[in-house]
């Protein structure tokens, strides 16, 4: 039987959970992210506590956690670029290998997208490493398409990433799994 998957916004006390998931994602899929495992391991535990507290209550940035049978098994970040373009982004998406292909990634992206839409976003952006073809197919299947923007990846010299976008429709507010 497939495990049941649920998504909830991070709580203020979950800094240790955030650190565990973030380091697991950077260890398992280093090619996918703009941060390195070394960066995350060097960061003080208190910085994850501060991030969790901020992401639990901010109106411009949040983290959502995936649970399988109550155990943390994935995450996604979301933010609105208030300093610059006002564009909304999802980022740092990761699902533990043991629970992939069960729509956990889709639940996470939809929860983050609904939250961004509730905060006023009409378009959701995501930077995808060009070599990460799995993530590109995943996002395309969710309706993300090209913006034409590309850039070098901050954490990986010589690697490029591409900006995708999904327009937020009204029905997205009612998408399944976005509670």
Ligand X SMILES: CC(C)(COP(=O)(O)OP(=O)(O)OC[C@H]1O[C@@H](n2cnc3c(N)ncnc32)[C@H](O)[C@@H]1OP(=O)(O)O)[C@@H](O)C(=O)NCCC(=O)NCCS
> Which parts of 24-167 are beta strand (E)?
61-68, 71-80, 88-95, 123-129, 145-153, 156-167
- 59 with 6: CB under 8 angstroms? no
Strand partners, 166: 124
- Residue 10 or 32: which CB sits closer to ligand X? 32
Asked whether position 138 contacts ligand X by CB under 6 A, the answer is: yes
Near ligand X by CB under 6 A: residue from 7, 32, 117, 153: 32
Instruction: Count other Cβ atoms within 10 Å, centred on residue 152.
Output: 11
- 32 with 94: CB under 8 angstroms? yes
Cβ-closest position to ligand X: 105
Least spacing, CB of residue 55 vs ligand X, in Å: 18
Asked whether position 72 contacts ligand X by CB under 6 A, the answer is: no
Residue 129, both tokens = 């490493």
Asked whether position 93 contacts ligand X by CB under 6 A, the answer is: yes
- 149 with 113: CB under 8 angstroms? no
Asked whether position 124 contacts ligand X by CB under 6 A, the answer is: no
Least spacing, CB of residue 178 vs ligand X, in Å: 13
Which residues of this protein are in contact with ligand X, per CB under 6 A?
A: 29, 32, 93-95, 100-106, 128, 132, 134-135, 137-138, 141
């Amino acid at each position: 039987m497939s495990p049941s998957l649920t998504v909830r916004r991070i709580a203020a006390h979950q800094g240790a959970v955030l650190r565990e998931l973030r380091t697991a994602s950077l260890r398992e899929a280093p090619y996918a992210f703009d941060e390195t495992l070394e960066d995350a391991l060097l960061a003080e535990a208190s910085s994850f506590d501060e991030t969790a507290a901020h992401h639990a209550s901010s109106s411009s940035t949040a983290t959502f956690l995936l649970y399988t049978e109550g155990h943390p098994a994935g995450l996604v970040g979301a933010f609105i670029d208030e300093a610059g373009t006002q564009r909304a982004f999802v980022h740092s998406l990761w699902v533990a290998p043991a629970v992939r292909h069960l729509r956990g990634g889709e639940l996470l992206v939809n929860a983050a997208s609904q939250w961004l839409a509730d905060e006023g976003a009409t378009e959701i952006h995501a930077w995808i490493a060009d070599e990460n073809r799995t993530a590109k197919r995943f996002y395309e299947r969710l309706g993300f398409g090209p913006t034409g923007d590309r850039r070098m990846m901050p954490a990986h010299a010589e690697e490029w990433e591409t900006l995708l976008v999904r327009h937020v429709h009204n029905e997205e507010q009612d998408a399944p799994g976005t509670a």
